[in-house]
Structures are given as C-alpha cells and as structure tokens.
Structure 1
Amino acid sequence: HDVGAVGGPILVGFDQPTLWYAGGVIRRLTGTVRQSHSEVDASSRHEVGFVPGTAIAVRADAWFEINGFNTSYFLYNEDIDLCLRLHRNGRRLLFEPGMSCLHDLGETTGSSHRSALYLEQITRTRLRPFRPRAYQIYLGAVHTLYNIARILRLFLRHGRSARTQIRAIIRGHIGALAEVIQPR
C-alpha cells in the first residue's frame, strides 16, 4: 500500500506515434524534470520520480491523504506538486508499461509551439512545488540564470520577433520569484 500513483508510456503524434514519456526523475540540483524516451524503460515496471498529469492513476487513499491537486495552479507543474507531496507522504510512484495513452501534446495551450501562455505559466509555476522555502530561494537563483539564458537564446535566434515570448518568460519569472519572496 505504499504506492501512491502509477503512469505508463505516453505517446505523441497521431500519424506516427512517438514515445514521449517512459518514466522520469526530478533533478534536485536544478528543480527540473528529465523524462526518459527509452523503449527499454517503456517495457518494464519501475519506480519513477514523477508521473505526468496527462495520464496518472492515483490511489484513492493517497489522493485523500494529500487533498488531491493543489487548486492554486492554473497551468503546469500541478502534477509535479502532486507527485512531490505523495513522496513526502511516503508514497512511491510507479511506471506501468501496460498503461499507455496517446497525447495531443500542446494543442490546448500552444505549448508545442512555445506560445506566450505556455512560456509564462510554465515559468510562473516552476518553483512552487518545492519545499522548504530555503530550497525555493536557491532554485529562484538557479532559474534566474536559466531564464536569462532562455531569453538570450530567443533573442539571438529570433531578434525582435521574440518580444512576446521574452515578455512572457519575464512575467512568469517575476511571478515565480514573488511567490517565493512573499511570506506564507
């Protein structure tokens, strides 16, 4: 009964489905996720660091222990938050190869095209799932450097035509830092 949630292979692309998720980890040093795209990983049951909200099955008792999804999230990282809270409650997360789904990645929010909505929201909620507050402050510094690099890359690749995306990243990062700085 220590399993909190289970997920399986997630495929993207209706014409020629491609493996998008075969398990993954949360990198503590950077507060980012790393997904496996390995067919070998996709074929075996194993413990994972997170399960995407795209297709997650959560045990009812585990769900009620942590009060389900945190409703303060608008878009993105609510699944990371849920998985971290399950971990903190002593629950394991498993990858089950027989539980697969086909995902229409990014069609609702434009994430597949890095829309301004996607960039702002993914940036705004990136620090929120992590505890304690001192760790969030550390990640805020790490993500400040990361976002400067993202902005420079966008500008160097696209020049002034990337203004909308750059502004979205800045708005999102300011929002993320404000959440970390404000007292709880």
Structure 2
Amino acid sequence: MLHIEPCTFGELADIKKISDDQFGVNYMSENDLRQYLSSEKSQVIAARKDGILVGFSIFILGQFSDILSEIGQMHYNVIKPFEKNNLIHLHKSTAVHSLHFNEGIGSALMMHEFETYRAEVYLSMIWNREIPGRMKDIVAKHGLTHFCEIENYWSNGSTINDYMCPECGNPPCTCTLVIMSKTANAGTS
C-alpha cells in the first residue's frame, strides 16, 4: 500500500539518491534539500511503499515574491501575471525511483499535493524531457494548462553546480522549462 506524508531529515539520503538518478547528479544538493525541508514556505512529501521511500515531490506555497525567488528574478516578466495573487502553489519537482515507474506514484503524489495544499493559483515547473515522463500529462489531469516555456532554463545552474543533465549531458544544460498554470476557480482535479 502507498502512503504519502511529509519527508523527514532522516530521509535526505534516499531523496538525494532518487533526485540524482532522475534529474542528474548534483541537480539538487543535500543543502538544497535541507533548505526545502526547513523552510516554512516549502513542502517535501514522500511516497512510501512497504515503508520504503519510492518517490517525492517538492513544492512552495507562498506569495509572488517567494515564487519569483524560486523561479529566478530574471524571469519576473514571465510570471508577472500572477503578481496580484495572495497565495501561489508552485510545484517544483516530482521524482519516482526507476524501479517504481508506471505504478501511479507520480500521479498519487500530485493528487495529494493539489488536494491537500490549496492556493489561489497553481504553477508547475515541468522539465521538457524527450522520455515519456508524462509529468505534463499528470499535471494536466489536475487542470493545469500550458502557460509558457523558458529555453535553456537550467544552463547557468548546471554550469555553476557542475551537474550532468540526463537528457543533454555535460553542462551547460540546454533543456526547456515548461510552466503550466491554473487558477483555483478552474477546479482542482
């Protein structure tokens, strides 16, 4: 049976391993994960199967300034349409251990996230991968639609943090970020 609940600091190594496998080594440092676990604005939830962590989601619930800080000041004009909203839910990432692909774990994490943590506006950061990750499809099931794309979004971060993108290889990463969105009155599932 699958259980979804908040992650603990004791699970950092498991989260980091799944992150490294799915997003590339060093995409998320242990320090990044500690900050997400420590912040009042962010949440890290875990999917556990038979007591073993098999997936996680990271998201931020905050005001426009919190979301802008996460997406990056240089992208202010991209998300400016949401500046007047009081509470924004930014889905940052979801990852599932490769041994548990196609078991509905990503969908379960997203359903829990969107049904439990409500906001006026929902944004989701989607990595536009060539593999059939289906995160866009999972997010779309919750009513989010394509808002915009930011080409080479991870280029600077991949160079600074020297992470190898599983999709395009050595830095700089040339992958595109897709942002999907919906307002709360558009329904939640």
TM-score in terms of structure 1 length: 0.29
Higher strand share: 2
Higher RCO structure, 1 or 2 (CA under 8 Å, sep 6+): 1
TM-score in terms of structure 2 length: 0.29
Pair member with larger Rg: 1
